[in-house]
Chain A
Amino acid sequence: MQQRKDEILAKKAKLAELKRQREQRAKEFTASRQSIGDGSELVAPIPSRANNRADLDNLISSLVGDSRPSSAGPREPSSPAQRGSRPTSVVSAGQLSGDQSEIPSPGHEKSAPAPSLQTLSIAPLTTVYDFPASPKAEIITYSKGVQTSDVYEPQRARAKGFSDSEDDGAVSPSKSPRKKRLSRREKEREEELRQNLRREIEEELKAIQNHDVSAAETNGRANFPSRLLTNEELNAVTSSIDFQGFVDRSTKVIERALEQEYDILADYAVDGLGAVDDDELGASTGRRGRRVKEVAQFWDERWSKKRMISDLNFSPKFPELVLASYTKNPSAPHDPDGLIQVWNLHMHERPEYVFHAQSDILTARFSPFHPNFIIGGCYSGQVLLWDTRAKSAPVQKTPLTGSGHTHPIYSIDIVGTQNANNIISCSTDGVVCGWSVDMLSQPQEYLELQTPQPAKSEEMAPTCIAFPQSDPTYFLAGTEEGSIHPCHRYDRAGAKAGVDTRISYRGHAAPVMSLDFHPARGKIDLGDLVLSSSLDWSVKLWKARPPAAAAGSAAAGSAGAGGGPGGAGGGDGGGGVGAHVAAQPLMEIGREDLVYDARWSPVKPGVFALVDGAGALEIWDLTVEVEVPVAKTKPSARGTLGGGASSSNSSYMAQSLNKCSWEPHEGKRIAVGGLEGVVSVFEVGAELGGVEGTKQEEWAEVKKMVTRLDQVMGNGGGEHGR
């Protein structure tokens, strides 16, 4: 096929060449003819033949000479007869000239003789079909160019006509008048054939098109009856796993698409007037840089109802994802008790993922080392691991046996490095366990925290733990009685694993609800700053003694080596190994309500957020003001976000906020949630969050303030010590 195509192409090119030559010749010819005589008829020259013989010869040779070489090649195989007949036909110059006039067209048409012309007119069906757009002359050309006539001969119905015409063609060269007639007839016939062909082709094309259309129509229309699925089919389809998965995925995509508030087709030239001034909203909560604006509320009618939020955490990998863990819904005994919903800031009305547990989930967070994992702690004492690629049930969980926790887990953390990390969980009976993510059947580490002597009871009830950024072997544990104890995961020089008995942080008079180490992202190390919140209506700022320094101050008595001002306190209260130091807070911030959570901003050194029992979110900036928050706001009532009017018809209790969590990368968003079960996400202004606005001085300022407070505290520390 390809070969043939090539052949055809080659021939086409040749023919084009020939055609050009023919035109040239014709021009020359007419010109010469005019010069020769009146050029009225080809026959006319006959008398003058003798006179102009030489001229004619010249002319012919000049005319034919250049065309022959090119046409000779193709002609050779097909037209020996023609050649043979030529000499006989060269009776007169007129005839010759007539022949000449005739020859160009045969020559042009592959220079095949009339017979082959007929042949060709037969074969065209296929050839022409390939080039339906060619002009008339081309079509003829083509039909003549086909050299496979022999092959086609017997197959064609027109074989007879072919033989007839062959006769005509064979005869034609010998009799010029007849040839003239013949050529005219031939032309007519050709014309006719051409027309026939064209009609046929057109019909064929039409038929094809019609077929296409009708096929399309049958696809579109005729299919419709068959598209009517029966009830059973519908049920089968809608209950298939494929369908459910598809609906789940596709509706998420579409909801995200619909949620996209920004209209990419907005034409600001057209409706610039209708634009809302964004700053107005911010103005109500303070200066623009310090505004706190509610950007999203997450609530699911089916799952969030009658549940309280127990923990919140932003995904470290995808800043738009925030998880919320919930307690059980007492009015729905058939629903799973524990619930985690992962919300997407781009999809407000339904969670991206929902995870379940048999027992209330009290704490949960994304694994910082694997974006697909979510780790949670349960009221039953189980540590659960969910995978966002799996179903809603946990992919792994710890057993309910004595080897792990048997009390509620209120605090959990993942510490270590990308390749070596552990889940550390802490239950209210003082048991701290370390788990490997790969194996939750048995704890890798088991530690029982005990209140250091002297104490009323050895038992310790930790409510929260916190690891410093720099040291995964050491943590602080806040207790129900209000004290905060440093604890070691392992035995180390001068200290056994467990609670470090030499120092404790005492200041809270009620259970400690949260502990948070400074995230220490700046050049100046503030990683020893700890923020604690408590039910005693206060937030306290602590300077955690590094474990080595604490050991040093205890061991060296009043030397205070390395502890700096802290050593002074240690000196007063100290006195040998086993001496107990009660460190004092650097700062106390009294609030008007129970403080449930307080968290450092991940980017601004002096900024932290707290939520309280009155349902308020407060943003503090220690570099600006230490007496009052720089911003304070409350989540609007559910469903009124964007509506403006925040009605406070919910009861006082329901407004209470339990948890807050910063988005860890930019520090611009903070999620809060509480008894109502609504997750509200706020965006803070440039002065309170965002990576670009942070100045170096702020770090130095915080450091200076801490040092100053530390000295004040150190001087007065002796009075309060012990």
Chain B
Amino acid sequence: MAQTTPDDTLALLTRLSQKPGVQSTLVLSRDTGAIVRTSGLTSNSISANPNSTQPSSSEDSTELLSNGAGRQATGIHSAEDVARLVYHFVGAAGSMIHELDESDEAKLVRVRTKKNELVIVPDAKFLLVVIHETPPA
């Protein structure tokens, strides 16, 4: 409610990305799938347009890139890959729900994997994805 300036808004995202257990965050535009913000993800196109994927966290993007090889093993992917996959996945989930009930829509998608959890909040215009570690089960 109080967050009316872009800085505050981005601070919210930054905080979210720095919460313990959170590996990466990703904000997509709902209609085109364009990446608005990411953190904790490497980007293929970072050189092409460094501003398209500013890491919200304090970590430097170049550091992310340099560690990219090592991070692949820890489940860090390229932002574009995640964006594409999630975007289509949410589209599929959305159409499923739409076909079940035309007046319905997806509000929250949580996907638990063996390694982590994706929490996806689809909204009218944007889509927020958070990948976080789950307690070892």
Contact = CB atoms under 8 A, between A and B. Distances in A.
B2 A354 contact: yes
Contact of B1 (A235, A248, A251, A258): A248
Given A244-B6, A257-B119, A392-B2, A251 B112 contact: no
A388 B134 CA distance: 32
B126 A242 contact: yes
A interface, over-half SS: helix
A224 B80 CA distance: 8
A722 interface: no
B121 interface: yes
Nearest to A352: B1
A28 B3 CA distance: 87
A326 to B, nearest CB: 13
Contact of A243 (B9, B15, B19, B22): B9
Contact of A349 (B19, B32, B132, B136): B19
A373 interface: no
Given A255-B19, A391-B1, A227 B119 contact: no
Contacts of B135: 263
A356 interface: yes
Contact of B137 (A271, A353, A390, A391): A271
A354 B8 CA distance: 13
Interface string B10-49: 1111011001011000010100111111000000010011
A338 to B, nearest CB: 12
Interface string A332-359: 0000000000000000011001111000
B16 A224 contact: no
Contacts, number: 132
A392 B36 contact: no
Contacts of A390: 1
A228 B21 contact: no
B33 to A, nearest CB: 6
B4 interface: yes
Interface residues of A, number: 49
B121 to A, nearest CB: 4
Contacts of A247: 3, 9, 12-13, 27, 126, 128
A219 B80 CA distance: 12
Contact of A248 (B6, B12, B110, B125): B12
A223 interface: yes
A401 B134 CA distance: 57
B115 interface: no
Contacts of B36: 229, 234, 237-238, 243
A234 B52 contact: yes
A195 interface: no
Nearest to A261: B135
B34 A354 contact: no
Interface string A247-275: 11111011101100001011100110000
A230 B19 contact: no
A258 B19 contact: yes
A249 B88 CA distance: 22
A101 to B, nearest CB: 51
B109 to A, nearest CB: 11
B22 A266 contact: no
B67 interface: no
A271 B136 CA distance: 9
23 contacts: A220-B84, A223-B33, A226-B32, A227-B32, A227-B52, A242-B126, A243-B36, A244-B3, A246-B124, A247-B13, A247-B126, A247-B128, A248-B12, A250-B123, A251-B15, A253-B121, A254-B130, A270-B137, A354-B1, A354-B2, A355-B2, A392-B1, A392-B2
